Structure 1
Amino acid sequence: MRLGRGSCERLVPFFKFDAGIHRVVCTTNTIESIKAPYRRSVSARGHLPSETTTIRCLYIS
């Protein structure tokens, strides 16, 4: 329960924003969660020499 009380101080200011800002934050989190596996896949392979190689890498993962 201590964890919940400690994080409440950081969460409450979020609700003071307008609904439009809530939507942007939630949309951004969704986009980032979709992009994360691709980002990990590309960074694990290092430098990719061409756009075609990058697309193949993303298609495989």
Structure 2
Amino acid sequence: MVQTCIVHLVRHSLNFCSWKDRKAVAGDLSRIYGAATADLAAAELDDFEEKWAGKYASIAPAWRRAWQEMIPCFGFDSAIRKIIYTTNAIESLNRVIRKSIKTRGSFTKDEAATKLIYLAIRKFEKDGRNVREWFAARNQFAIMFGERFDA
């Protein structure tokens, strides 16, 4: 399952807009990714294209090209959607893990690397940089991906 960063998609879309239209376009785009289901989002995308195709013809096709990577979030509850709305939290955690591994160089066993990654994640969680609503989302991830999720 691949989920694209909606924030990056919105930013990409706003690059095609003039400054005076950015707020209106962003508001109309928020109706797409804020929709309750993928079908409603597709209808909002059609409405967006109908409204803005004359002035900004390249925005809707960009969303359609990324549609398969954008719609997985509609299969999740709102608590999880808040987490995967943007990849910034994921990128931040990946940075912490890379930083902890980079300083070590090499490992004698796989268990040593696993332990270091585990400790980096624990420190990341305790430093208060974790994402709001993470605990509710984590519980839903445990239910949905029980075979892959180890609480």
The total of aligned residue pairs comes to 47
Runs of 4+ in 1 over 6 A off after TM superposition: none
The Cα of 1:56 is off from its aligned counterpart by 1.0
CA distance in structure 2 between the partners assigned to 1:44 and 1:57 by the alignment: 11
CA distance in structure 2 between the partners assigned to 1:43 and 1:31 by the alignment: 18
Q: RMSD over aligned Cα, in angstroms?
A: 3.0
Identity %: 24
CA distance in structure 2 between the partners assigned to 1:20 and 1:30 by the alignment: 22
- Which is greater in Rg? 2
**TM-score of the superposed pair, with normalisation by structure 1:** 0.52
**Unaligned segments of structure 1, at least 5 residues:** 1-12
Find 1:14's aligned residue among 12, 15, 28. Answer: 12
Question: In proportion to residue count, which structure has more helix?
Answer: 1
Aligned position for 1:52: 111
- Confirm whether residue 37 of structure 1 aligns to residue 104 of structure 2: no
**TM-score of the superposed pair, with normalisation by structure 2:** 0.25
Deviations 1:8-51 (A, max 9, x none): xxxxx81032163884xx44x54322211001000111111221
The Cα of 1:57 is off from its aligned counterpart by 0.9
Give the SS at the match of 1:47: coil
